Homo-oligomer: A and B are copies of this chain.
Amino acid sequence: MAGEVRELKVDLGERSYPIYIGTGLLDGIGERFLERRFPVKSPIMLVTDESVADLYADRLEASFAAAGYKVTTAVVPSGEATKSLEMLDELIGVALQGGLDRKSTVVALGGGVIGDLAGFVAATYMRGVRFVQVPTTILAHDSSVGGKVAVNHSLAKNIIGAFYQPEFVLYDLDTLASLPIREVRAGLSEVIKHGLIWNADFVKWCDDNADRLLGLDPEALGYALYEGCKVKATVVSQDERENDLRAILNLGHTIGHALEAVAGYGELVHGEAIAIGMVGSARLAARFGYSPDIAETTEAIFRKFGLPVRIPHEINTDEVMSAMLHDKKFQEGQMVFVVPTAIGTVEIRNDVPVSWVREIVDGLREGK
């Protein structure tokens, strides 16, 4: 049964769209398609992954069928490797065979991997068809705002893509019940990030409500995802194409990406890596003369959520530094970093000495 539904508008002029957050939403998707006059004659393609398909695909299929839509479902392997041009090729084939036309819709049912991949299919099939997202992870609250869609190249992640906004996002909290606890924590890491860059009260609220969030209490989770999406939507509305402001969303990501690149398979997931990265950025803040409380508060909240705040000892500082160098954020001994100035606000600095970063990375290693 459907409980309270929160609605957030992502404000992008002509490309604006709503995000619906609540429980019991999956079964109503066909109705929403009809309400929005998505043509019944144009087939839908549902893209999902192997873990999610068995759990929720039939409910969407049934809802579409009841509303009179023909659906073709494409189930792809779970995991990051699925975000590839080979998979794009395959899905375009499925779309053609399913008879999708220019008025058709591609629906992404899954986490960020499925959202990014299916979104790129929608952006490029016949030069662009409708796109709808049905996120099933907490991390996907992040990818459901901002319209970044992409696949990976063997030499770089997310390098082939587009800015492509969905028609709407249907966030059914019920689907999160099956999420492994590690994915829950990792997703909440990015939710907390949105607080850290923009909204101190929300950080406090997360801290106070850690147990409810980790326990997937629908009321708390609905509020947190709403607030997380709202921060991102506010930033993105002001800078859709990442010219300046949008960069603040990368808090913790410079160190985080380097850790992901260096860590062995499965050792660190994205949300974990950026939690460590955010602690690093907060320590940088202290170097720039901002309050050392920032680092303390940041570290404490991630600990409370069961997220790592130290670099695993297998990873050495040189590797991390050279992964960052590869990441092109260096420039003549100085680096660009998003640095907190207080809990809830950040600045972008392009004058961060590489030596400071090295010291901070080194100081973050386990056992130091």
Which residues in A have some Cβ–Cβ distance to B below 8 Å?
A: 85, 88-89, 92-93, 96-97, 101, 123-128, 148, 150, 153-156, 159-163, 241, 328
Looking at the assembled complex, report how far the CB atom of A124 sits from the nearest CB atom of chain B, in whole angstroms: 5
Contact B128–A159 (Cβ < 8 Å): no
Instruction: Provide the residues of chain B in CB contact with A96, threshold 8 Å.
Output: 153, 155-156, 159
Contact A163–B125 (Cβ < 8 Å): no
Residues A127 and B161 in contact in the complex (CB < 8 Å), given A93-B154, A96-B155: yes
Closest 3 CB pairs of A and B: A127-B161, A96-B155, A124-B160
Q: List 22 A-B contacts (CB under 8 A).
A: A85-B88, A89-B153, A92-B153, A92-B155, A92-B159, A92-B160, A93-B153, A93-B154, A93-B155, A96-B153, A96-B155, A96-B156, A96-B159, A97-B155, A123-B162, A124-B161, A124-B162, A125-B159, A127-B161, A127-B162, A128-B163, A162-B162
Looking at the assembled complex, report how far the CB atom of A121 sits from the nearest CB atom of chain B, in whole angstroms: 9
Residues A127 and B163 in contact in the complex (CB < 8 Å), given A92-B153, A155-B93, A155-B96: yes
Of the candidates B85, B127, B162, B328, the one whose C-beta lies within 8 Å of that of A128 is B162
Kindly name the residue among A101, A127, A241 whose own CB sees the greatest number of chain B CB atoms within 10 A.
A127
Contact A127–B155 (Cβ < 8 Å): no
Instruction: Provide the residues of chain B in CB contact with A97, threshold 8 Å.
Output: 155
Instruction: Provide the residues of chain B in CB contact with A162, threshold 8 Å.
Output: 123-124, 127-128, 162
State the CA gap A334–B21 with chains docked (Å): 45
Looking at the assembled complex, report how far the CB atom of A127 sits from the nearest CB atom of chain B, in whole angstroms: 5
Contact A125–B160 (Cβ < 8 Å): yes
Name the CB-closest residue of B to A162: B127
Instruction: Provide the residues of chain B in CB contact with A163, threshold 8 Å.
Output: 127-128
Residues A88 and B160 in contact in the complex (CB < 8 Å), given A93-B154, A93-B155, A153-B96: yes
Instruction: Provide the residues of chain B in CB contact with A328, threshold 8 Å.
Output: 101
Residues A159 and B126 in contact in the complex (CB < 8 Å), given A93-B153, A96-B153, A153-B93: yes
Looking at the assembled complex, report how far the CB atom of A128 sits from the nearest CB atom of chain B, in whole angstroms: 7
Instruction: Provide the residues of chain B in CB contact with A127, threshold 8 Å.
Output: 148, 150, 161-163
Instruction: Provide the residues of chain B in CB contact with A153, threshold 8 Å.
Output: 89, 92-93, 96
Name the CB-closest residue of B to A155: B96
State the CA gap A161–B123 with chains docked (Å): 8
